[in-house]
A and B are shown apart, each in its own frame.
Chain A
Amino acid sequence: MIELEQLTKRYGGTIVVDRLSLQVARGELLVLLGGSGSGKTTTLKMINRLVEPSAGRVLIDGEDVMTVPPATLRRRIGYAFQQVGLFPHMSVGENVGITPALLGWDAARIAARVAALLDLVELDPATFRDRRPAELSGGQQQRVGVARALAAEPAVLLLDEPFGALDPLTRDRLQQSLTAIRSKVGVTIVFVTHDMVEALLLGDRIAVLREGRLVQLGTPAELLRRPADAYVAELMETPLRQRRVVDALTESPQD
């Protein structure tokens, strides 16, 4: 479905992404995991050409993305990111319906699609469609951002820490929503996060990046059982240690 071949990004003398190669299968959710400066966001943005590669290729269904005009390419690929970037001068409905509008869908079809998507992200269309983004909470804005990304029925969805700036409860709700959405919509997802637990919960497979290089690629279970190096082992240790702390608290006698 998505193939990265020797994908490289340089800014001046600095190499941000270094000869990265991997494949994402149709319908899979691949997590790009790494700390800041690992190149995970840059890698993601090279898939829809928000960042142009210095070398290497990105193929989607065998087609080199560099051969497709950027605007055309991006209308086929959903994209949501931590800052959300809702258009403040448009209503929620207009925000969600923007890519279909750019594609020239008729008004009735856009309205139906917007209603269906707001339902999907668990926002009541009648209540929210005509509101302005400024009237929404952070979590509601993130939901609208995901709905906007899904609007034109993309085969590929790129998510860059879409639940990053939210409180834990809201974040948990949205993660469950995403899992529910995946069960309804057969979409291929590349998901960027620095959060180990989120990666383990959501990812079919996880690609661990460090300083622009692929350190390990595998299922959550594989990463937990056979970390490729000390860095991955340390990453995996964090949730396990947290679990032990939580277990200890629940097993200790209560007064």
Chain B
Amino acid sequence: MSDALRDQLVLLPTYLAAHLQLSLLALLLGTAVSVPAGIWASRRPRAGRVALGAASVLQTIPSLALLAIMVPALAALGRATQASLGVTVPSIGFLPALIGLTLYSVLPILQNTVTGLAGVDPAVVEAARAVGMTDRQRLRRVELPLALPVIVAGVRTATVWVVGLATLSTPVGAPSLGNYIFSGLQTRNLAAVLVGCVAAAALALVLDALVHALERGVRARRRGLVAVAALALAALTVHAAATLAAGAFSHARRPVAIGAKTFTEQYVLSAILAGRVAATGAPARVVPSLGSTVAFDALRDGALDCYVDYSGTIWATIMRRSDVPSDRGAVLAEVTRFLRERADITVVAALGFENAYALVMREDRARAAGVRRISDLVARAPELTIVSDYEFFSRPEWRALGAAYGLRFAAERSMDPSLMYQAVAAGDVDVASAFSTDGRIAAFDLRVLDDDRGAIPPYDAVVLASARLVREEPRVVAALASLERAIDADTMRRMNAAVDHDGRSPEDVAREFLAHVDAGSRPRVR
């Protein structure tokens, strides 16, 4: 077994347990809601059509979006309950994932319950009435048992869907086998992606087989089979629920929740923050692969305690400022004041480097075309294709670039950032919107074009801390503050390359960095 694979398998029990918890509870809830709803719907055909229609519409919402929508929805709910009842609702992590997955499981179960009940022989229904069964007895003794195979088929469909979709819980902050897939794609770790996919598929097959065995046992009245399957499912459920309850009711010190967005630098930085937090003796927990605004919302709402964001990002997307000042210090000061006053968030440290949006080209092509600055690109852009991550083209920085340079490309494409650099390096596209500290710029021999008209705002990396952390964990805040000016752009770029290019784990790179800092030496990363 290769080291890379062994490293990944160490994480398997944790991710698998979390994935199982989510999937099983979502399926139990989904079944508990959908079977009664299906019974109700089959008794009232018109209302039933409406219910089935609503479930179908839910199903058409892309699954990632459905899960992501839960975050702001729960945050809004949390603000309402906080104001009226003094109770907060967690807006990231287990809850939004659970609700999203439960909603997704509704359609197949609801649909099959209605179909199954409609498929019961009318003569049998008439006989059930004629022998003197009440409506309830007829349902329980005749209709449900006869519809059971169809209903169970729906549950099995839902099982396979939910276990697969649970991998999408990672971006809303719930650990799952998706952590393997998201971080693996981001850090070009194929072993991780593979482990995640295989484990999710295996889990889906096992759960499907258990549900199937349960149904076969019930139908054939084989007590042994029913007992084994039910016991296995019950054990998994109890384990999942117990872990959950332990988390919810424990009076142990709440771990410091550290967020990371979905790119390599964020994984490395979150591991560095975690190391700093752990050094104070406080428990730390990294919530990786969060969507960009999910992380900010979660910090504001207290679901996260700290993470690294960038002054330009706050400036443009949170403060919604469209002017682009070139003074790094001024932007940082204004962002700091805004966050403190408007969101009760503290800027604990500026790490000392910028990770700005930058336009990059393949070195040889840039040289051949004589492009060094963005303004050199203007004349050539109409023949070139530009590629970016999912958000860049809708961000103010892109509009600012357009306004400052009048850039107009032949085509604009969006793709996953992990694939973007490869696309430029392979020559499939000409220009990419890169991140200036990305290790892949050097790894793929790309040229960063100079922003000669200063259209892109400064992007100082800053450690943000929640109100709770500042209030309750002053030692942790002090430890994080010690990272002030501790990482320069060159160090960050090398750490990113160590992950992206050399295939080292973010945790390993973070450990090495912290060891150097603690030894008082200037951090050197190979």
Contacts and interface: CB of A to CB of B under 8 A. Distances in A.
Interface stretch (A5-13, A78-86, A233-241): A78-86
Nearest to A84: B123
A50 interface: yes
B379 interface: no
B337 to A, nearest CB: 71
B146 A102 contact: no
Contacts of B121: 85, 88
B interface, over-half SS: helix
A85 B131 CA distance: 11
Contact of B127 (A71, A73, A87): A87
Contacts, number: 62
Nearest to A154: B132
A74 B127 contact: no
A213 interface: no
B522 interface: no
Contacts of A83: 123, 126
Contacts of B145: 89
Contacts of B132: 71-75, 99, 102-103, 152
B129 A148 contact: no
Contacts of A70: 129
Contacts of B124: 85-88
A29 to B, nearest CB: 19
A98 interface: yes
Nearest to B132: A75
Contact of B128 (A48, A72, A73, A87): A87
Nearest to B135: A71
B123 A74 contact: no
Q: Which of B125, B127, B129, B131 has the most A CB atoms < 10 Å from its CB?
A: B131
Given A85-B121, A87-B142, A88-B146, A99 B131 contact: yes
Which 10 interchain pairs have the tightest Cβ spacing? Answer: A85-B127, A75-B132, A83-B123, A85-B123, A79-B130, A74-B132, A71-B134, A85-B124, A99-B131, A89-B145
30 contacts: A48-B130, A50-B129, A70-B129, A71-B132, A71-B133, A71-B134, A75-B132, A79-B131, A81-B126, A83-B126, A84-B123, A84-B127, A85-B125, A85-B127, A85-B128, A85-B130, A86-B127, A87-B127, A87-B128, A87-B141, A88-B146, A89-B145, A89-B146, A89-B219, A98-B131, A99-B131, A99-B132, A102-B133, A103-B132, A152-B132
Interface of A: 48, 50, 70-75, 79, 81, 83-89, 98-99, 102-103, 148, 152
